[in-house]
Structure 1
């Protein structure tokens, strides 16, 4: 996976990822992306609009939310907070630096208030960790 395309809100989802997700196939894909970024923070990320390589593994037997207006809202607001736009290409390490400089853990509640994963606090923890360590954690 030399280059990875991500939509805005998945930048935060990756920080909070702890090996759990919508299905085994989804987790296999998400873990592969996560481990690529953890092991090689110089991996180039291309910011895209709409479904990305994480969405591609969303299980077909569940209601798909990848095109919901609320998801596009999250993408746009998060990119705005980070000073990014669709089409930008930068390393994962640079993205982590932007998150660490611009986002506080409590910002997750505001930006991701309508995400079903938000109440678990994983992304808040992920932002707190990235602000301190500037690198992804090993998965449990």
Structure 2
């Protein structure tokens, strides 16, 4: 079981092996590939820093506690019909994405995210709509 906050549900869809530090990338890749290979893995939705935030580099402002990040978490969970405290499988999260999310939602919900300009999160949502799984990270 993994503890994840709302916005990381979208981040995982767009993850392509890039991140804030080597330690962060290793942690994100490990989680991402686990969910890809074992979609029945349970996710516990949490309010605030999660298992990905644990490896965010301690090099100044800790954005994981920023109000705008909490707002993004809440917006994504609301869009997907999910609530903090819920436990569900990654496969069920993908199902919620297919039902409630469209790629263009990233442009609105994640408007201030520095990673948005890469377009990979929209691409990841589209791939889930097409019945694909998370991408394999090389």
TM class by shorter-chain length? over 0.9
59-68 or 104-113, larger mean C-alpha shift:
59-68
The Cα of 1:63 is off from its aligned counterpart by 2.5
Residue from 54, 58, 70 that aligns with 1:56: 54
CA distance in 1, matches of 2:60, 2:20: 8
Q: 1:125 to 1:62 in 2, by over 3 A?
A: farther
Query: How far apart, CA to CA, are the structure 2 residues paired with 1:99 and 1:117?
Result: 19
Please provide the CA RMSD for this pair. 0.9
Q: 1:20 to 1:8 in 2, by over 3 A?
A: same
Q: Return the offset for 1:137.
A: 1.4
Mapping for residues 34-113 of structure 1, pairs under 5 Å: 34-113=32-111
Alpha-carbon distance, 1:62 to partner: 4.3
Can you list the C-alpha shifts for 1:59-109, whole angstroms capped at 9, x where unaligned?
112432001110000000100011111100000000001011111111100
TM-superposed deviation, 1:133: 2.2
Structure 1 partner of 2:126: 128
Bigger drift between 55-64 and 92-101 goes to 55-64
Contact 1:105 1:128 survives alignment (8 Å): yes
Q: CA deviation at 1:44?
A: 0.4
- Mark the runs of 5 or more structure 1 residues left unpaired by the alignment: none
Structure 1 residue runs of 4 or more that deviate by more than 3 Å after TM superposition: none
Unmatched 5+ stretches in structure 2: none
Cα distance change on mapping 1:97 and 1:134 into 2, 3 Å: farther
